[in-house]
Amino acid sequence: MALQYRGRFALDFAYDSWAEAYREIQHSAYLELMERAVAADTHSGHFDRAISLAQTAAAVDPDAEQFEYALIKLYRLTGSHAAAAEQYSHYAAVLRDQLGAEAPPLESI
Q: Are 58 and 75 in contact (CB under 8 A)?
A: no
Average pLDDT, the chain: 87
Q: What is the mean pLDDT of residues 71-86?
A: 97
Residue 86: band (very low, low, confident or very high) from pLDDT cuts 50, 70, 90: very high
What's residue 25's pLDDT?
87
DSSP secondary structure of 52-87: HHHHHHHHH-TT-HHHHHHHHHHHHHTT-HHHHHHH
pLDDT over 70 (residue 9) = no
> What topology is assigned to 17-108 in CATH?
1.25.40
Q: What span, in angstroms and rounded, lies between the C-alpha atoms of 80 and 84?
A: 6
Q: In 3D, which of 93, 71, 92 has the Cα closest to residue 82?
A: 71
Q: Are 46 and 70 in contact (CB under 8 A)?
A: no
Per domain, the residue ranges of the chain are: 17-108
Neighbours of 78 (CB within 10 A): 14
What's residue 98's pLDDT?
87
Q: Are 96 and 103 in contact (CB under 8 A)?
A: yes
What's residue 83's pLDDT?
97
pLDDT digits (tens, 9 = 90+) for 20-63: 777 888 889 999 999 999 999 999 999 999 999 999 999 889 88
